[in-house]
């Protein structure tokens, strides 16, 4: 494999040891046709610039992503930079590659590491607000800055600062099984109410009310004892002094009448 020369330290724009001199290789790539020889040279250029990509990846360490995954994303950005670079534009490859690699890493964070989907503009607000809070909290009193102070420091409106503060909590979510502080085992899911099955009956009951008011007292009492008191037909019969068969007929006739009337009204 070809060893590319490292640039001299004297150049002001060449500030790192991992910026090889590949100008000639890029010129050759633009002239070469697709094939094994061109692919071999392309791979050599990518390999030569890989230390630069890995250095850029280290800037984003300790942000919730595995180091190996960061290096892979940076390598992908480098490959894109090599394939898209046009030496004829007169721009040094490093000047083109660095924003390409960094942009790929930031895109990875934006698309894969946020627990909630947050628009890019809101993510940028979140980053500006977070940096401002860190800078302002390093003062003498070391207190948390107010929304107004952050707005003045960043040039944002107070509404934008509040939006950025809300986005700070969207980067990661809290498990419903997480124990609440000082709750002695009380989890977040325990604070969430359950569905009330009786709510499904509200409409039916409201629809039946006018019809129930029109029933004779005995039929209305039988329905109440059966469906609200949970009494059996035999218990109702003893309570009202009639036969169980008579109670059964009254229940069947009354329910049919109510159903027909309610459907007709609907």
pLDDT over 90 at 191, yes or no = no
Joined tokens for residue 17: 């040891």
pLDDT tens sequence across 113-163: 555 556 778 778 878 888 888 888 776 466 778 889 889 989 999 888 888
Pure H helices in the chain: 23-31, 36-58, 67-84, 93-108, 120-136, 147-154, 158-168, 202-213, 217-223, 233-240, 244-265
If you average pLDDT over every residue of the chain, what do you get?
81
pLDDT tens sequence across 28-65: 988 989 999 999 999 999 999 999 999 999 888 876 67
| Structural domains of the chain ordered from first start | 23-113 (1.10.1740.10), 120-191 (1.10.10.10), 197-265 (1.10.10.10)
**pLDDT at residue number 81:** 93
pLDDT tens sequence across 61-93: 876 677 888 899 999 999 999 999 998 888 899
Could you write out the three-class secondary structure of 177-236? Answer: CCECCCCCCCEHHHHCCCCCHHHHHHHHHHHHHHHHHCCCHHHHHHHHHHHHCCCCHHHH
Joined tokens for residue 172: 């990661």
Neighbours of 45 (CB within 10 A): 21
CA–CA dist 128, 150 (Å, integer) = 9
**pLDDT band at residue 14 under the 50/70/90 scheme:** very low
């Amino acid at each position: 494999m070809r060893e590319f020369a490292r640039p001299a330290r004297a150049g002001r724009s060449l500030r790192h040891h991992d910026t090889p001199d590949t100008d000639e290789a890029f010129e050759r790539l633009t002239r070469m046709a697709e094939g094994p020889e061109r692919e071999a040279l392309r791979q050599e250029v990518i390999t030569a610039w890989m230390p630069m990509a890995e250095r850029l990846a280290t800037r984003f360490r300790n942000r919730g992503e595995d180091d190996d995954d960061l290096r892979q994303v940076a390598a992908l950005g480098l490959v894109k930079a090599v394939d898209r670079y046009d030496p004829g534009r007169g721009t040094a490859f490093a000047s083109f590659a660095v924003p390409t690699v960094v942009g790929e890493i930031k895109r990875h964070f934006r698309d894969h590491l946020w627990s909630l989907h947050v628009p890019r503009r809101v993510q940028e607000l979140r980053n500006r607000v977070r940096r401002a809070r860190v800078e302002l909290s390093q003062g003498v009193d070391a207190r948390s800055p107010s929304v107004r102070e952050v707005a003045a420091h960043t040039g944002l409106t107070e509404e934008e600062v509040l939006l950025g503060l809300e986005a700070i909590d969207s980067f990661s979510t809290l498990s419903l099984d997480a124990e609440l502080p000082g709750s002695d085992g009380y989890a977040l899911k325990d604070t969430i109410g359950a569905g009330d099955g009786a709510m499904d009956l509200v409409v039916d009951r409201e629809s039946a009310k006018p019809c129930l008011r029109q029933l004779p007292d005995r039929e209305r009492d039988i329905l109440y004892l059966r469906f609200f008191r949970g009494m059996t037909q035999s218990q109702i019969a003893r309570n009202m002094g009639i036969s169980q068969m008579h109670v059964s007929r009254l229940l069947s006739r009354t329910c049919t009448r109510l159903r027909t009337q309610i459907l007709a009204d609907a």
